[in-house]
Chains A and B, each alone.
Chain A
Amino acid sequence: MTAPLTETGALGAAGALAAALLVGIAFGWCLERAGLGNARKLVAQFYLTDLAVFKVMFSAIVTAMLGAFWLSRLGVLDLSLVHVPETWLLPQLAGGAQFGVGMATAGLCPGTACVSAATGRGDGLAVVAGFLAGVLLAGAALPRIAGFFTSTARGVDTLPARLGVSQGAVVLLIVALALAGFAVAGRIERARGARRVA
C-alpha cells in the first residue's frame, strides 16, 4: 500500500495544504466547466429540462468509486485509511430533507455557490452569505437539540456491510443504476425538447 500519501508519511502537513489548494482549483474548474456555477442550469435539473447536475454528479461518483475500488484491489490505496463520513440515520435524513428545500430555493449548493460568486454572480454571493448565517444559527442552536443531533449514530456504516454483500457487488449495482439513469436522463431531455441552459 502506498496511499493515502498523508497516512503513509509521503506527504507532510504543508504538502497536504498544497494538495488542498490544487484539488480545490481542479474541483472549482470542473464545476464551472459543467455550468454548475449557474443557478438557472442547476435548477433546470428539477424541471427536467437539463439534467447536467445528475449526469455530472453520478458520473463523478461512479468514477471515484471505481477508482477507489480498483486501486484498493491492486494494493495501491489502503481504503481503511480513507476517511468515510459516519452515519447518523435520522439527523441525516432530516438534514438532507431540509438541505433539499434550501437548495431548490437558493438555486445553488455551497460549492457551486462559491463558483457562482467567484465568477461575478450576485446571487451566488447571497447564497454564500445566507449559508454562512444558517451554519452560524444552527451551530448556536445545536446544544438544544443535542439529543436528536447525536441520535441513531451508526459510526462508519457502509452499504456492503448493511446489505450483507461484497463491496464489488454494490459497486456493480451502482454502476448499473448509473448507466440506466443516464439512458433515462437522455430520454427525458429528448422528450422535453432538450432545452439545455447554455
Chain B
Amino acid sequence: MSARAPRPYADPYLTGVGLGLVLLAAFVLVGRGLGASGAFATAAATVVDAASPAAARANAFFADHLDAGGLLRDWLVVEILGVMIGGFASAALAGRLRLAVDRGPRTSIAERVLLAIGGGAVMGAGAVLARGCTSGQALTGGALLSVGSWLFVGAAFATAYGAAWALRRVWT
C-alpha cells in the first residue's frame, strides 16, 4: 500500500518501557491492566446471545461476559478497538501498511492461513481455560505479581518452544 521503504522497527527496550508506562497508566486511571482475550470472550458471548439469548444466559462463561452492558460499553472491547487504531496509525506513519501474509520462506499462503486459524483456535481455548492471554495474564498479572499469571507465562513459553521446534520447517 505504501511506495516508501518501510522504516525499521523501534528499539525493543525503549518500546518495552513505553508499553510498561501504558500498562501503569491503566492501573492509575482505571485500576486494571491491559487485555485482549477478554474482548474476544465478550464478542463470542454477543454472538451466542444473538443466536439464542436463552443459551447465552444458561452458560455461566457467556453470561459473565454479557453483564458489562453491551459490546461497545465493555472496557476491553473499546481498548481492543484502540489497539487496532493505534497499530494502524503506527504502521501508516512508518510506511509499514501492506496487504500481505507474513509466513515462513517455505510455507504457502494456504498453509499459513490454515495454521493461523487452527493455531488461533487452540490458543483461544487455552485462553478460556487460563482466564486470559499474553496481555491480561503475562503483562498485567506479571507486573502485579500474580502466582497464576507467572504459571501461565512459564507454561505458555515452555510449550511454545517445543511446538516451534516441531514446526521449524513451517517457520524457518
Mark A residues whose CB is within 8 Å of B: 3-7, 11, 16-17, 19-35, 37-41, 43, 46-47, 51-52, 55-65, 67-68, 71, 76-77, 81-89, 91-124, 126-140, 142-143, 146, 149, 154, 156-160, 162, 167, 170-171, 174, 182, 197-198
Contact = CB atoms under 8 A, between A and B. Distances in A.
Contacts of B89: 25, 29
Interface in B9-35: 9-10, 12-13, 15-34
B123 interface: yes
A149 to B, nearest CB: 7
B79 A24 contact: yes
Given A4-B28, A115-B91, 12 more contacts: A5-B28, A19-B29, A24-B79, A25-B85, A52-B9, A96-B137, A99-B156, A102-B119, A104-B164, A106-B122, A110-B127, A120-B99
Contacts of B121: 102, 130-131, 133-134, 137
A80 B149 CA distance: 18
A83 B133 contact: no
Contacts of A63: 16-17, 19-21, 23-24
Interface string B103-123: 110000100110111111111
B79 A27 contact: yes
B50 interface: no
User: What is the interface of chain B mostly: helix, strand, loop, or mixed?
Assistant: helix
Nearest first, the 10 closest Cβ-Cβ pairs linking A and B are A24-B82, A134-B124, A130-B120, A63-B20, A95-B130, A102-B123, A59-B16, A105-B119, A28-B86, A106-B119
Contact of A32 (B45, B86, B134, B145): B86
A111 B146 contact: no
Interface string B133-172: 1111111111111111111111111111111110110011
7 contacts: A33-B9, A39-B116, A61-B143, A92-B152, A107-B115, A133-B124, A159-B150
B79 A23 contact: yes
B123 A106 contact: yes
**Interface residues of B toward A: which range?**
35 or more
B47 interface: yes
